[in-house]
Amino acid sequence: MVYEEGSSDLYKLTLTQNNKKVSLTIQANDSNHAQAQAADICRSLQGTGFELTYGRNKNSLLSRLFKNLAFNNYTHSCCALWEGKETNKSPCVYVFGKRLYVKNVILKYLDIPNDSVVRPICKNKNCINPYHFAYLDGKNSKLTGGDLKLLEAYKKQGASISQIAKVLNVHRATIYRKLKKL
């Protein structure tokens, strides 16, 4: 990982949970930015506390992930492939002796509600680009949050159930169920 000199500072973040510690390097514009990142990272990795100091620690995939999230280094056009471990063909990381799925870590870091399920739009299971995530309201859901907004709009315009199902590429029964919940 290459850091631009003079544009930001390096901090060593040490997270704690039940007498276990994890350290990583974070990059921030200033101390306030570093504190905010530290709190977000602590929450996303399920830490109970953290200590932030100047300095550098061994660069890791997690350090790179949080740097890219903090500085929004993702684009809509390119996949960001996870280079670390996988479990069940999903990117994961081991922190505090527990397996955490990277997509869930990203959701917690970005303050997206826990009840959301993430599926990559690009169909690449190793993609961790937040711009490529479709946020679903259930594990087997066929419709994203944007699809539900479209469903509501089409219904208000008087479109038939068959027309809505065709546009959203789902069965009519799915539209009936969703309308019943709305």
pTM: 0.75
Give the residue from 109, 113, 89 showing the smallest Cα distance to 46. Answer: 109
Q: What is the mean pLDDT of residues 48-69?
A: 89
pLDDT at site 2: 42
What pLDDT score does 142 carry? 79
The most confident of 14-18, 165-169, 178-182, by mean pLDDT: 14-18
Task: Give the highest mean pLDDT range of 2-16, 36-50, 117-131, 150-164.
Answer: 36-50
The residue-averaged pLDDT of 50-74 equals: 89
pLDDT for the residue numbered 114: 67
The tokens for 13 are 């973040």
pLDDT, residue 7, reads: 60
The sheet with strand 86-87 has its strands ordered as: 86-87, 90-95, 98-101
pLDDT at residue 131, rounded to an integer: 92
Residue type, 58: K
pLDDT category at 173 given cuts 50, 70, 90 is very high
Please say if the pLDDT value at position 8 is more than 80.
Answer: no
Instruction: Report the percent of the chain where pLDDT is more than 70.
Output: 92
Rama region for 109: left / alpha / beta (φ>0; ψ in -120 to 50; rest): alpha
Q: Give pLDDT, residue 149.
A: 84
Q: What is the mean pLDDT of residues 29-43?
A: 93
By C-alpha distance, which of 36, 38, 54, 42 is closest to 16?
42
Domains of the chain: 9-136 (no CATH), 145-181 (1.10.10)
Range among 26-30, 131-135, 178-182 rated most confident: 26-30
Q: What is the mean pLDDT of the chain?
A: 87
